[in-house]
Amino acid sequence: MTTRVPMVAGNWKLNHTLADAKQLVSTLAAEAPDRSQCEVVVAPPATALKTVVDTALGSAVAVAAQNVYHEKSGAFTGENSPALIRDVGCSHCIVGHSERRQLFSETDAAVHQKVVSLLEHQLIPIVCVGETLAQRDEGTTVSVVLGQTEAALKGLSDDQLADVVIAYEPVWAIGTGRTASPQDAQDVHAAIRGFLSKDFGASVAESTRILYGGSVKPNNAKELLAEPDIDGALVGGASLKSESFLPIVQAAF
């Protein structure tokens, strides 16, 4: 029987004004379960981070940045460092999302740098991994996903890994309405956990949370989250409204 506390994280991407963000988080803060049941995380755009942190203060809702640059400071126009997102009140940060990899040419090496830098600043990385439709059709899903996972976690200690969350998001299921079947998702999650066990030991593998992302909605969440190696969800579009996000949270525990 697993003791992993489920996590449901909402990635708002490039959505919500300050007013919208405040209204949504106010509702989530009032309805979120105790963190011992399920950890609820929201990732607003950078412009809304401070508003969301202030609105969520004292509640069970944690706040994540959607991206970070690994350097502590410097001449890096448009970027935010781990120190800055921690200073604004974030506790988590998404890294390696497929949109960052595909649209902004983010490499496995860059993802690794971000993971290390976040951990150095006591922030929890939510590390995204996943295959494209072409890779899935080629039968290389597991090798692609494990390659991304290995690159992101290279050289980390067991203590560092205790603060890492992995999110498996098949690229072909993000924002498309298509979702991996529960068994397909479970198979990849089990492969990731098997990799962790082989490279870092059974204890690390058993304690690491692995989320599923890719068109998670209220009508498919319960079935997906019932799988033994799926420890929660990284939710996109359905996280933009409380009436679609909260049922996913409820399905996780």
The domains of the chain, with CATH numbers, are 39-66+78-251 (3.20.20.70)
The pLDDT value recorded for residue 161 is 95
What does the pLDDT read at residue 174?
81
In the 8-state DSSP scheme, what is residue 178? -
What does the pLDDT look like over 50-82, one tens digit per residue?
A: 999 999 999 999 999 999 999 999 999 999 999
The pTM is what?
0.96
Q: Is the pLDDT of residue 1 over 70?
A: no
Determine the 3-state secondary structure of 43 from DSSP.
strand
Q: What is the pLDDT of residues 219-229, one digit of tens each?
A: 999 999 999 99
Q: What is the mean pLDDT of residues 27-46?
A: 97
Please name the residue ranges forming H helices in the chain: 18-31, 49-56, 82-88, 98-103, 108-120, 133-137, 141-153, 158-161, 182-200, 202-207, 218-225, 242-251
Q: How confident is the model at residue 179 (pLDDT cuts 50, 70, 90)?
A: confident
Helix and strand totals (H; E) in the chain: 12, 8
Q: Mind telling me the catalytic residues?
A: 97, 169
